[in-house]
Amino acid sequence: MSEPVEGPLAGIRVLDASTILAGPLAAQILGDYGADVIKVEHPTRGDGMRGHGLDKDGEPLWWKMVGRNKRTVGLYLGDPDGAEVFRKLARTADVVIENFRPGTFERWGLGYDVLSADNPGLILLRVTGFGQHGPYATRPAFGTLVESMSGFAHLTGQPDGPPTLPAFGLADSIAGVAGAAAVSMALYRRERDGKGQEIDLDLLSPIMTAVGPGVIYADQLGIDQQRTGNRSNNNAPRNTYRTKDGEWVAISTSADSIARRVMQLVGHPEVIDEPWFATGRQRAQHADLLDAYVGEWIAQRTRDEVIVAFEEAGAAVAPIYRPSDLLEDPQVRALDMITTVEDPALGPMRMQNVLWRMSRTPGRIRSTGRPLGEDTDQVLAEIGLSVSEVAALRERGVVR
């Protein structure tokens, strides 16, 4: 962790006191772009992310990613002495991230009024399921629940099938990216007036926005969007199609010009002259016909043949990948979207790279997720705790 930091957030210190998944992801993104992220975890349980997903030789693999670029301190915030140590750490920080139920930080004496009294420029990102106030504020909430409430599950799946939840942490991931953006905005504002602020980020708002215009449709038209499977109400052909060799591809024709090229390619240019072909919304009303034409053409060709033909025609197509396919994709390789990182326990490992490429202040991965409490002594020494003080706290189980 002693390598020079190059990212745009170099010199920014973040205390990540959050757990599964949105808060840790926001902190990971900030760390990817140069922030000094100190992961504050329960001294015996650690972040629950350490127990999520698969492991190799006892090493949790998902943690290697979401815990990357973070120093880790084992500290029990529910103990008064642990809370006092945290307050000392917060005096040196630019950002604190927490996702406990509303009122928990205040009960521990770590409310924003306390932390900002010592550090007026501090930014506190508070991530919860439903926000800091309102009738649902104290409810336990996970991504699954807000994926259900946001309209995502209602819109996902086949029309005659059940609402469908994602097989991954979608709501948390969207909120994590939103959290990193919110912190960046607050840091920019602080540059102008020197003042920090609280950020109240609930999991529901970001995914509700990502789901699209359903709310405004309900308000203005009195209708609820319905499941359309892999089709779209906004354009056609738009679906997944099986190839001759048993693979799958996806097609989108959001642009009218692409729709024309697709139908010319699959041998049915006559539909282009139909009045209803002029707009995506009208084409979607004839999806059965268009899907039949496209599906028949694709079923007679291998995935690679389909992709080559579409590329030559200037039409839009993509293979439906498994994660292992991403490891070999030439575009992913060209942009280093998946990069190799050296892990002390497992050696070289490939994982998703930083989210965007900056020409002057690029982000990078400096370390994989580290063992719980690996940096406790170093970090607490930086805020003036002596070896004997740390030892006494460790003896009582307050730190690890």
Show which residues are catalytic: 172
Which amino acid is it at 183? V
Q: Which residues contact 191 (CB under 8 A, 6 or more apart)?
A: none
In the chain, what are the helix, strand and coil shares in percent, each to the nearest 5?
Answer: 40, 15, 45
Q: Which residues, in sequence order, are CB contacts of 75 under 8 Å at separation 6+? A: 40, 41, 42, 43, 82, 85, 86, 376, 398, 399, 400
Question: Buried b vs exposed e over 242-270: b needs ≥16 C-beta within 10 Å?
Answer: ebeeebebebbbeeeebbbbbbebbebee
Contact 380, 399 (CB under 8 A): yes
Amino acid at site 400: R
In terms of DSSP bridges, do strands 347-352 and 338-343 run parallel, antiparallel, or are they unpaired?
antiparallel
CA 104 to chain centre: 25
Q: How many CB atoms lie within 10 A of CB 283?
A: 25
Contact 55, 349 (CB under 8 A): no
Task: Report the alpha-carbon distance of residue 221 to residue 148 in Å, rounded.
Answer: 22
Three-state secondary structure call for residue 176: helix
